[in-house]
Structure 1
Amino acid sequence: MRRWEADLARATYGVRTVEALRQVLERWMLRRRKPLTFRMTQVLTGHGCFGEYLHRVAQRETEPVCHDCGEARDTAQHVLEQCPRWSRQRHDLVAVLGGVDLSLPSVVNAMLGSDGAWAAVASFCETVMSQREAEERNREDHPLAEPIRRRRTGVRRRRYLARLQAPP
């Protein structure tokens, strides 16, 4: 644990997540029956359908803007704390977490405090990210989508190309 702590103290990437987990590292590692889901990981790390990630890392957006509210920087924290599109889901989450602020360290600490809080965070992440992913796919498939969006390879890209080549 000390070696991990030292490594995390020197982290230059994923600082938001590292700082949240460093405060509770031992509790995090000792948690039982609380698996991370794919969508929870996206919100905790900021690697998902967020304008900032799609712009800076995936290079699939020309700007890091939020498609839901127009905010200049769409980040995981923006979705978790501010985006008006998710106010109902956020209200439900805060009700279970006991009114804690939605900074990532507070959310992670609350998650570790009870199974109910963990489940509430998982539910928030599942609801929000599944909808954001579906909307991202719609933007990718839109005939007027910018070329940067259509760089996909693999199954989705092959299906897209097959649709383009199919007779009308």
Structure 2
Amino acid sequence: MKKDDIDNIIEQWANELPELDASPMAVWGRIKRTVKHSERRLADNFSLYQLNSGEFDVLATLRRSGQEFKLKPTDLYQSLMITSGAITNRIDTLEKKGLVKRVHDNEDRRTIYVQLTDAGYERISQAVISHTRTEESLLKGLTKEELAQLDQLLKKLLYSLENQ
């Protein structure tokens, strides 16, 4: 495989500080650059559906919840690992777009759910298919075996970070 910009950076550090093990810098540098490329492509895809990534995440979470496609705001923000203020803003925006609505529980009117509207259901059902195709295209440089290995390595890394 040919050298990339990260290789050049690591070589520069090796010249300047030979005692420095810059291998973690190489890994994180490549992860950060991969994220930048993927975020740009995914954002382009979201824009086809007049959504941003945060809005997509809310709609996708509701869509995969099944049945009535509704969740309590608390369940939404915990699932998305964001603050209650952030979920409120996203819900407000999606409600203005007509993609979600707030509904009261039939048995306890104090309980409020966020539910996909028919328009929200249609939008996310189309967007998630396109999103998955975009993600697949981002990974086309890897074989199925390499993808499985990368997935397991990232899972292991994420587990170690979340359990420190």
Scaled to the shorter chain, the TM-score interval is under 0.3
Q: Which has the higher strand share?
A: 2
Whose radius of gyration is greater, 1 or 2? 2
